[in-house]
């Protein structure tokens, strides 16, 4: 049995028995794991309040390879994200980022680059709540790139001509020009401005995203739904994020 000390993000928490809970964590040291926090729901527990989604923590737990659920022993709060904002949309995009990680990262899949990317994105969202939609789009692009599925925005995947506008082909998971995609029904369509925006995002960090690459208006939700469809195609796993469904209900 090993004692692991690592940074982590709380993905979700499930009550267990009378006073405990099972917590899904995304850790820097071991990727996505589940821990049991014994007595965490007691009023006087030292863990109470620290194990909520969007909390960035440092944690110590006992790890045993033969167990599916590890035993949490200590938590220090590094940052409670989105607690100082009244903007519901920013919190939803933060939760959507965690939900995306929960879907694309397998249990015990160690990936420090993905971990650092989501932490940096959430911290930037927390500071710049008015740019959360742009930051979420950037995050999807970054995760796809890290996983080896870089999004091609410059050339048509079929005729190889440079794109001035584009159509997303859901059957191939790629962009095509208007001519090559004329037969597609109900496709995602991108304007020249959209392509320029996405191109700039691919060359930016979360901090620089909020400045020169901000599009003329808040980007349409079509863009992030298309990117989620793109990533889902390549990982062969659906990415219908519940958090975004809530957002759609709030702002139809």
pLDDT in tens, 58-116: 999 999 999 999 999 999 999 999 988 778 889 999 999 999 999 999 988 888 999 99
Give the N- to C-terminal CA distance of the chain in Å, as an integer. 51
User: What residue has token string 């009023």?
Assistant: 43
Q: What is the pTM of this model?
A: 0.92
Rounded to an integer, what is the distance from CA 87 to the centroid of its chain?
Answer: 18
pLDDT of residue 151 exceeding 90, the answer is: yes
For residue 157, give Cα distances in angstroms to 25, 163, 169, 174, 186: 38, 10, 9, 6, 19
What's the mean per-residue pLDDT of the chain? 91
Q: What is the spatial distance between Cα 216 and Cα 195, in angstroms, rounded to a whole number?
A: 13
Q: What is the spatial distance between Cα 151 and Cα 188, in angstroms, rounded to a whole number?
A: 15
For residue 70, give Cα distances in angstroms to 39, 60, 81: 15, 10, 25
Give the tens place of pLDDT for each residue, 101-129: 999 999 888 889 999 999 999 999 999 88
* Domain architecture of the chain: domains with CATH: 2-80 (2.40.50.140), 88-247 (1.20.1440.120)
Q: Please state whether beta strands 69-80 and 31-37 pair in parallel, antiparallel, or not at all (unpaired).
A: parallel
CB 7 within 8 A of CB 57: yes
In DSSP notation, 181-208 reads TTT-SS-EEE-HHHHHHHHHHHT--HHH
pLDDT of residue 218: 56
For residue 143, give Cα distances in angstroms to 21, 72, 103: 29, 28, 12
More confident call, 200 vs 143: 143
Q: What is the spatial distance between Cα 95 and Cα 209, in angstroms, rounded to a whole number?
A: 19
Banded pLDDT at 252 (limits 50, 70, 90) = low
Helix (H) / strand (E) element for 161: namely none
């Amino acid at each position: 049995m090993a004692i692991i000390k690592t940074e982590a993000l709380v993905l979700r928490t499930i009550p267990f028995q009378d006073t405990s809970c099972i917590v899904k964590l995304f850790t820097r040291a071991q990727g996505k794991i589940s821990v049991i926090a014994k007595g965490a729901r007691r009023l006087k527990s030292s863990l109470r309040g620290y194990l909520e989604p969007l909390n960035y923590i440092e944690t110590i737990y006992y790890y045993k390879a033969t167990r599916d659920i590890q035993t949490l022993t200590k938590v220090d709060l590094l940052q409670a994200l989105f607690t100082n904002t009244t903007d519901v949309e920013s919190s939803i995009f933060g939760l959507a980022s965690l939900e995306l990680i929960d879907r694309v990262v397998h249990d015990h899949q160690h990936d420090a680059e993905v971990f650092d990317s989501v932490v940096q994105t959430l911290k930037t969202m927390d500071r710049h709540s008015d740019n959360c939609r742009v930051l979420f789009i950037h995050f999807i692009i970054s995760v796809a790139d890290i996983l080896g599925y870089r999004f091609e925005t410059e050339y048509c995947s079929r005729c190889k001509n440079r794109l001035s506008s584009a159509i997303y082909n859901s059957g191939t998971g790629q962009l095509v020009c208007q001519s090559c995609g004329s037969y597609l029904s109900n496709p995602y369509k991108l304007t020249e401005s959209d392509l320029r925006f996405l191109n700039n995002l691919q060359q930016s960090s979360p901090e620089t995203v909020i400045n020169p690459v901000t599009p003329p208006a808040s980007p349409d939700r079509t863009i992030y739904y298309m990117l989620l469809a793109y990533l889902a195609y390549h990982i062969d796993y659906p990415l219908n994020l519940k958090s975004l469904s809530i957002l759609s209900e709030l702002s139809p």
